[in-house]
A and B are shown apart, each in its own frame.
Chain A
Amino acid sequence: MTAVFAVAAIAAQGQGGLDHQGVSNRLRQGYGGPPKRSAKAEDPPLRNAGVQRFDTPEPGARSPRNANYDIDVRLDQSARTLSGRETIRWRNISAKPTSELQFHLYWNAWRNAESTWLRERKISRNYTAPRPDGWGAMDVSAVRLREPSGATRDLTSHITFIAPDDGNPEDRSVMAVPLGRSVDPNGTIDVEVVWTAKIPRPVARTGYIEDYYFIAQWFPKLGVLEDSGWNTHQFHAPTEFYADFGVYDVRITVPTPFIVGATGRQTARTANSDGTTTHRYQEQDIHDFAWTASPDYIDLTRTFTHATLPPVEMRLLLQPEHRGQEDRYFSATEAELKRYGEWFAAYPYGHATVVDPAFQSQADGMEYPTFFTGRARLFPSRSRQTPEMTVAHETGHQWWYGMVASNEFEHAWMDEGINTYATARVVDEAFPDNRWELRYFGGLVPWSFPDISYTRLDNDRMAGYRDNAEADIPSTPTFRYWPSTAAIMSYNKTALWLHTLERHLGWPVMQRILSTFFDRWKFRHPQPGDFFQIVNEVSGQDLTWFFDQVYRSSNTFDYGVQELLSDRRDDGTYRTVVIARRYGEATFPVDVVTTFDDGHRVMEKWNGLDRRAIYVYERTSRASHVRIDPQRVLLLDTAYTNNSRTLAPRSGDASLRWAAPWMVWLQDLMVTYAFFL
């Protein structure tokens, strides 16, 4: 009914029409006014102190700053293309010399149907072949090396495409450029790259729809040179990205009516004579840069303040049809800034831009340094999953991904899993009134269930894990996960074992583990072993056995009560037998607590290794019930229902209670179908 009454209201709020190219008429007629910004609309250029411009890293730099990008890019609105030129100052911070550079050309994943990315998508669920406007491409027209003498050497003709992961000759997402000379450790080179890119209709996180643009992974980006060689994976369907830290100075030229948001802070805006405006954004100690442009954004700012944490200017770019949901966006961002700041470390950049993406832009729920997207709907969700959970999660990625820059191709769990776990805690604290919700009528109309709470366990994504617990061994490199269940391993299973670890060690220890991990590995690239080492160190325990179970194995956990007997003996006492069973292959120590009718409780510590543990009690009172893992420490147990058994079961009551509404549902369905006859 809400929807019915909303139709008239919605229809009354008209928007401008579109011309034949899909360009907003409002755009052609000229933007209605300057964007709504705070008084600091045009910041002065960053002062040189602390700002690196292709020098060796300055004192006080947070990161190595070995991959620095100076980029000019122009958006051709009618052709839906980008033209770019970048100068990269790159320093070899590995222990080995190299005579080539390797670049990611991510948009070539949508160049044709034979890319690795699309091949992998085809074998996963929900694959739809790209439409003609869904193809993208990135074409490098020039690569030039600047010699120390100042001359440039053209390397364009030496470009090759490589496929280090699967040898797919059709995949062009990795470009190798021989330099013709060696770059020693700590050596620095300047490379100029000129390219054009065809912007796709949204495929995965990037593209255009009408005159809305979200541009990510849009420039040729260097891989990471490690001691073992270049780590430049092809673009795979289940993976994200990996790059080195540096300073970014980016000038984005778009039609003047567009409002632009991007990584970093805007330091200049220049109106050009051709009806375009160049927006300059700069930031340091980041490893990626994304931007968005649309004439329709509502531009809002607020400042996060805290007694002990530095202030953060929050900029929200909101879709007009989501007006009224800005408070939800800001409160979610603040909740994450506050708690992550208190638990792990203060957010250091001083500003963050949150984007409310356009409908069907496929840009929702994604993170970039100081810049991330949420998700809101026309009919606001009463649940806290959108936008709150999404915004909080992407804010959290500023720590886990943005600053602790693990390799998302190989160990996606290190950012997605840690962030999912920690954000679930944030949302549970900050938004306790989170209720379950479903969407009907094409996914457009929400209906919330006030009797079903969205718990922290739900935000650890227990349901998805339970159905796919054995999908992969988590230690498998992410790009080799089965595409349709890769997220389950990275997000769900990791969040659950981290939460299990929290329950096992206690939150204070867990918080110290994560803050130590952050402190040691911020602005660096940790490996899984680095995390496990810190867990052992901070907890004071060798938890290798735990990681063997949850990380190096796909075995599942399932402990249950096989039997509970409590028989009266001739002398009036009771002989109680409890049989605890390990049904799964993975092991974990669990408590077995037997409660008797007289209120007495006996707790046994079972190491969980054997298939069974049998406990016998002879007492004057009959047993009431037994629970395995009553505190539910082991969240990875796929069947918690069998963890308990009572001698006075209420399954009859429970089943009657729920069979009744089910019967009503069935009757309702039958009566509805009877309409047709």
Chain B
Amino acid sequence: MRSFFEGWRRVRSAPALLLGVYAVTVVVALPLAISMRGLLQTHLGQSLAAESAAEGVNYDWWQEFSSQATGIGTTFTPTIIGFAATLDTISGVLDGQREVAPIAGTLALYLAAWTFLSGGVIDRYARQRPLGAASFFAASGVHFFRLLRLALVAGAVYWWLFAYVHRWLFREWFVEQTRTMSEEREVFLWRVALYLAFGLMLVVVNVIVDYAKIRVVVEDRRSALSALSAGMRFVWRRAGRVAGLYALNGAVFLILIAVWAFIDPRARGGDLALLVTFLAAQCYLLARLALKLQFLASQTALFQSSLAHAGYVAAPAAVWPESPSAELVRTSAR
């Protein structure tokens, strides 16, 4: 619990980090959004269909656009409206059916950016004091390739989980177990159980990877594999505290999702309504990012409180300036 609140304190103490990662989200998404706008504008051309599309949903036009869309245009579906976007993404991940090929490049760029920034973020939370942009990016640079190697290993594990474990669980075992069930209730409960089981696997990998990242940065480890091993040891030896912290953060995630589902902004209204909807969505994304930072910050706090790296977080030793008066003071002190 202490680490949970300590994490939020550290996140609040570094608002620039939150704004920074949010800015990255915007900067990475914006070019593709501009491209999408171009596609939509080209298809609408000088058609009067744009009149109704400009005021709300023109689903007839939307379907016509979808029937000829290629590339990123194929992702322009009603699931972009309101909470459906979140629901669609989470459902797609859990069902192993998220088709990301059209945006794979952008997604890879974003994940690479996150990997780069993670080093600086963890370093900042660990040091618990303002570092300045230069130090932040220096730390990010120092740890980037280590974290990248770690990310590649993690990526391989996730790929294996989705390509083999998920496939077996959901497309073979689940189908086999439920094919003779005549009640949807039973089938639903089985599916929920599988989501929980698979979700737990993802969480375990995620937790180990998070603590591995923390150990890379806090302990200045060079080897991704040794960091993973160290992360596993840390999680294993403090499973209860680690799980408890993750559960608390997870509960916040669920609450956030529930709130967003309740708000579920609509797709109609004038320009003001459109602006309010967009800003509300950006606030929701800010909250998601803050929560992501909270995961890192609270886990860093837990790690530091467990392994007492007090010296790491101490303020740097005072350095006398070079001047005759300072020299006089220094020599007098001896």
Q: Which residues of A contact B (CB under 8 A)?
A: 1, 3-4, 7, 10-11, 13, 15, 22, 131, 201, 209-212, 319, 321, 358-361, 377-378, 436, 438, 440-442, 444-445, 447, 449-453, 455, 457-458, 462-463, 466-467, 564, 625, 627, 638-647, 649-677
Q: A13–B63 contact, CB under 8 A?
A: no
Which residues from chain B contact A445 at a C-beta distance below 8 Å?
A: 91
Q: B278–A660 contact, CB under 8 A?
A: yes
Q: Would A668 and B285 be within 8 Å (CB), given that A655-B41, A659-B33 are in contact?
A: yes
In addition to A11-B189, A458-B59, 4 A-B residue pairs with Cβ atoms within 8 Å of each other are A447-B83, A451-B57, A651-B46, A659-B33
- B313 proximal to A (CB < 8 A): no
Report the number of A-B residue pairs with Cβ-Cβ less than 8 Å: 278
A644's contact among B49, B100, B180, B195, by CB below 8 Å, is which? B49
Chain A minimum-CB-distance residue to B260: A668
| Residues 78-124 of B at the A interface (beta carbon under 8 Å) | 78-91, 93-95, 98, 100, 103, 106-107, 110-111, 114-115, 118
User: What's the nearest-Cβ distance from chain B to residue A84, in Å?
Assistant: 24
A452 to B67, CA, bound (A): 18
Q: B111–A10 contact, CB under 8 A?
A: no
| Residues 53-70 of B at the A interface (beta carbon under 8 Å) | 53-54, 56-61, 63-67
Q: B91–A321 contact, CB under 8 A?
A: no
Which residues from chain A contact B111 at a C-beta distance below 8 Å?
A: 670, 673-674, 677
Q: A452–B189 contact, CB under 8 A?
A: no
Q: A209–B180 contact, CB under 8 A?
A: yes
- Interface magnitude class on chain B: 35 or more
User: What's the nearest-Cβ distance from chain A to residue B76, in Å?
Assistant: 6
| Residues 40-58 of B at the A interface (beta carbon under 8 Å) | 40-41, 43-51, 53-54, 56-58
Q: A652–B47 contact, CB under 8 A?
A: no
Chain-A contact segment, one of B6-14, B218-226, B228-236, B266-274: B266-274
A639 to B278, CA, bound (A): 30
Which residues from chain B contact A450 at a C-beta distance below 8 Å?
A: 266
Which residues from chain A contact B26 at a C-beta distance below 8 Å?
A: 667
Which residues from chain A contact B142 at a C-beta distance below 8 Å?
A: none
Q: B29–A463 contact, CB under 8 A?
A: no
Q: Would A359 and B181 be within 8 Å (CB), given that A451-B266, A641-B44, A675-B206 are in contact?
A: yes
Q: Would A1 and B258 be within 8 Å (CB), given that A450-B266, A453-B59, A676-B158 are in contact?
A: yes
Chain A minimum-CB-distance residue to B261: A1
Chain B minimum-CB-distance residue to A676: B158
Question: Would you mind naming 13 contact pairs between A and B with Cβ atoms under 8 Å apart?
Answer: A10-B188, A11-B189, A359-B181, A359-B184, A451-B57, A627-B48, A650-B54, A651-B44, A657-B54, A658-B37, A669-B100, A670-B106, A675-B292
A401 to B114, CA, bound (A): 61
Chain B minimum-CB-distance residue to A671: B288
A664 to B89, CA, bound (A): 12
Which residues from chain A contact B63 at a C-beta distance below 8 Å?
A: 462-463, 466
A297 to B28, CA, bound (A): 55
Q: Would A359 and B183 be within 8 Å (CB), given that A651-B46, A677-B115 are in contact?
A: yes
Q: A359–B48 contact, CB under 8 A?
A: no
- B30 proximal to A (CB < 8 A): yes
Which residues from chain B contact A4 at a C-beta distance below 8 Å?
A: 254
| Residues 245-261 of B at the A interface (beta carbon under 8 Å) | 254, 257-258, 261
- B323 proximal to A (CB < 8 A): no
A671 to B59, CA, bound (A): 28
Which residues from chain B contact A466 at a C-beta distance below 8 Å?
A: 63-64, 67
Q: Would A665 and B85 be within 8 Å (CB), given that A671-B289, A676-B154 are in contact?
A: yes
Q: A672–B90 contact, CB under 8 A?
A: yes
Chain B minimum-CB-distance residue to A443: B95
Q: A361–B182 contact, CB under 8 A?
A: yes
Q: Would A441 and B46 be within 8 Å (CB), given that A378-B185, A659-B36, A661-B80 are in contact?
A: no
A418 to B57, CA, bound (A): 29
- B135 proximal to A (CB < 8 A): no
Chain B minimum-CB-distance residue to A437: B78
Which residues from chain A contact B59 at a C-beta distance below 8 Å?
A: 436, 452-453, 455, 458
Bitwise, B6-38 to A at CB < 8 A (1) or not (0) is 000000000000000000011011101110111
Q: A640–B49 contact, CB under 8 A?
A: yes
Residue from B41, B60, B184, B261 whose CB has the most chain A CB atoms within 10 Å: B184
Residue from A321, A436, A676 whose CB has the most chain B CB atoms within 10 Å: A676
User: What's the nearest-Cβ distance from chain B to residue A526, in Å?
Assistant: 33
Which residues from chain A contact B49 at a C-beta distance below 8 Å?
A: 640-641, 644
Q: A663–B30 contact, CB under 8 A?
A: yes
Which residues from chain A contact B1 at a C-beta distance below 8 Å?
A: none
Q: A661–B37 contact, CB under 8 A?
A: no
Chain A minimum-CB-distance residue to B202: A676
Q: B37–A655 contact, CB under 8 A?
A: yes
Which residues from chain B contact A657 at a C-beta distance below 8 Å?
A: 53-54, 274
Q: A442–B95 contact, CB under 8 A?
A: yes
Bitwise, B112-154 to A at CB < 8 A (1) or not (0) is 0011001000000000000000000000000000000001001
B37's contact among A462, A643, A656, by CB below 8 Å, is which? A656
User: What's the nearest-Cβ distance from chain B to residue A564, in Å?
Assistant: 7
Which residues from chain A contact B188 at a C-beta distance below 8 Å?
A: 3, 7, 10, 378, 444
